[in-house]
Amino acid sequence: MNYRNVLLGGVAALCLYGPAMAADTDVTIVLNEELETVEPCMSSQSNIGRVLLQNISETMTELNPEDGSLMPRLADSWEDRGNGTWRFHLHEGVTFSDGSTLDAADIKHSIERTLSPDLTCEIGAKYFGGMTITPTVVDDLTIDVTSDPAQPILPLLMSTMTIVPAETPMEFTRSPVGTGPYAMTAWNPGQNIILDRRDDYWGDQPAVTKATYLFRSDDAVRAAMVATGEADISPLINQIDATNADTDFAYPNSETTYLRLDSSIAPLDDIRVRQALNMAVDREAFLGTLVPEDAQIATHMTVPTTLGADQDLSVPAYDPEGAKALLEEAKADGVAVDTEILLLGRLGNFPNVTEVMEALHGMFTDAGFNVKLQMVEVAEWVKYYSKPYAAQPVPSMVQAMHDNNRGDPVFSMYFKYACEGLQSGICDPDLDKAIADATATAGDGRGPAWAKAFEIAHDLSADVFLFHMVGFSRVSERLDFIPSIATNSELQLSQIKFN
């Protein structure tokens, strides 16, 4: 026995380890950021969602990304019992990956846990702010959920609520247990997360037996990994790298980019100035250049598949001369149109954001505005974007990207347009009323109610809307999987088939 043999043997073993063990039904998915936690109540964060949502942790209801309708998942059915109370009937025979059976107590615990102040779960903070939710167990398979104030879309909200066993402690878990078709079998922080298919899943057996998640923050690397066979799916690649029609798919990602105008400060308090800003932007020029060709020019805060957002509104045509004329007019009325306006961009917000902002800066300047561009990281950006503003009040246009993949504008409109909305740059009584009305409206009237709110915001030129964005995924040719709007927040392994 000599050292050299041992050493060579070791090296050989190391080389063989890894790629050689992959089976035909295994997939490798490369995400853009490492998961900081694997806590189900955090799965509204896109990367946590892509691993956990509906793979490990399921929800009572599920949103159909194609038509915005609501589908049953853990709950077979639900009904409105008035006064803000909804009753959910659970599917029978569902088991958690730890072997226990799903019952109403688990749902109750999950809701309480998600909304607990001791945990600061993102799902709680993001979807259930400003309301009180009270779960009441009726029997093992029936639960009443009451909200105050009443929520016409409570079943929709429940499509975000991940369900964990009643035994889950009130702290972030490192070994998530859920009812989904997969269970987490390994988590090597910094390296990978491995999910294995459960044999005792209550629903249909999916094709994928094992999924390995890797994390690479560099766009080009993620794209290259699918090309070299090191990964099968990269849910997010840069549009620049999406060059292979066979593997690269564009999908609307429910994100809307816009410039939030602060209309409380001169000269942005003048509607003509805001209109002029809208006219100064040559939106067409971006498409197919800095912004993917499949992106849509936005007229609303939410994507067209959202309730009430399917109506025909339009953005003003590109008209720098018209913008100048409007400015002159405002100037004649004593509006300080020469004031420097801060154009604030958020670094890394979407691919090419810096270039887009540079181009916008150029367009505004061409139309006669005095605009100063500043690109900042998120911590500073928030100081300008969200109330209470930590930054000095200056006339500003804050670039932002809003994501509403829940199908209902309620998640957007209050925050962005109500006087009290945290990111609202406008305060208009009519608009406030329209939002409040629509929020409280249930049933068929809800769509037209939102459409009205959209229209008021549009007529006020409250923002400079840019695009409903698309994302790009690269999927290995050995898989039968087409990314959809849902890919932005989840990646259901059960939807992946093999060619």
The single-letter DSSP state of residue 119 is T
Question: Does residue number 7 form part of the binding site for other proteins (CB under 8 A)?
Answer: no
Which region among 63-71, 175-183, 326-334, 344-352 touches other proteins (by CB under 8 A)?
A: 344-352
Nearest-angstrom CA–CA distance, 74 and 145: 15
Nearest-angstrom CA–CA distance, 181 and 197: 6
Phi and psi dihedrals of 256, rounded to 5? -125, 125
Farthest-apart Cα atoms in the chain, separation: 94
Question: Does residue number 129 form part of the binding site for other proteins (CB under 8 A)?
Answer: yes
Residue 124 or residue 165: which is nearer to other proteins going by CB? 124
Which region among 118-126, 146-154, 318-326, 475-483 touches other proteins (by CB under 8 A)?
A: 118-126
Question: Does residue number 218 form part of the binding site for other proteins (CB under 8 A)?
Answer: yes
Nearest-angstrom CA–CA distance, 121 and 176: 14
483 neighbors 264 (Cβ within 8 angstroms): no
User: Across-strand partners of 373?
Assistant: 343
Contact residue for other proteins among 359, 462, 475, 491 (CB under 8 A): 359
Cβ-in-10-Å burial (0-12, 13-18, 19+) of 209 comes to middle
Residue 382 tokens read as 């928030």
Work out the angle at residue 281's Cα, subtended by the Cα atoms of residues 277 and 284, and round it to the nearest 5 degrees: 155
The amino acid that residue 411 corresponds to is F
Closest separation in Å from C-beta 60 to other proteins:
22
Lay out the site mask for other proteins across 285-304 (x = CB under 8 A, - = otherwise): xx--xx--------------
Long-range CB pairs of 14-21, under 8 A, 24+ apart, other chains included: none
Closest separation in Å from C-beta 359 to other proteins:
5
Which region among 85-93, 132-140, 197-205, 376-384 touches other proteins (by CB under 8 A)?
A: 376-384
Which region among 51-59, 296-304, 373-381, 426-434 touches other proteins (by CB under 8 A)?
A: 373-381
Question: Does residue number 423 form part of the binding site for other proteins (CB under 8 A)?
Answer: yes
Closest separation in Å from C-beta 30 to other proteins:
8
Q: State the residue for tokens 């008021």.
A: 456
* Sign of the torsion angle spanned by Cα atoms 145, 167, 196, 115: positive
Nearest-angstrom CA–CA distance, 439 and 193: 40
Residue 90 or residue 343: which is nearer to other proteins going by CB? 343
Of residues 182-201, those binding other proteins (CB under 8 A):
189-191
Which residues make Cβ contacts (< 8 Å) with residue 407, sequence separation at least 6? Answer: 63, 68, 156, 305, 306, 307
Closest separation in Å from C-beta 388 to other proteins:
8
Contact residue for other proteins among 79, 200, 321, 377 (CB under 8 A): 377
Closest separation in Å from C-beta 36 to other proteins:
5
Closest separation in Å from C-beta 373 to other proteins:
5
Question: Does residue number 44 form part of the binding site for other proteins (CB under 8 A)?
Answer: yes
DSSP letter for each residue of 219-250: HHHHHHHHHTTS-SEEEEE-GGG---TTTEEE
Lay out the site mask for other proteins across 227-266 (x = CB under 8 A, - = otherwise): xx-x-------x-xx-x-----------------------
Lay out the site mask for other proteins across 304-343 (x = CB under 8 A, - = otherwise): ----------------------------------------
Question: Does residue number 348 form part of the binding site for other proteins (CB under 8 A)?
Answer: yes
Residue 99 or residue 388: which is nearer to other proteins going by CB? 388
Nearest-angstrom CA–CA distance, 339 and 273: 11
Residue 48 or residue 102: which is nearer to other proteins going by CB? 48
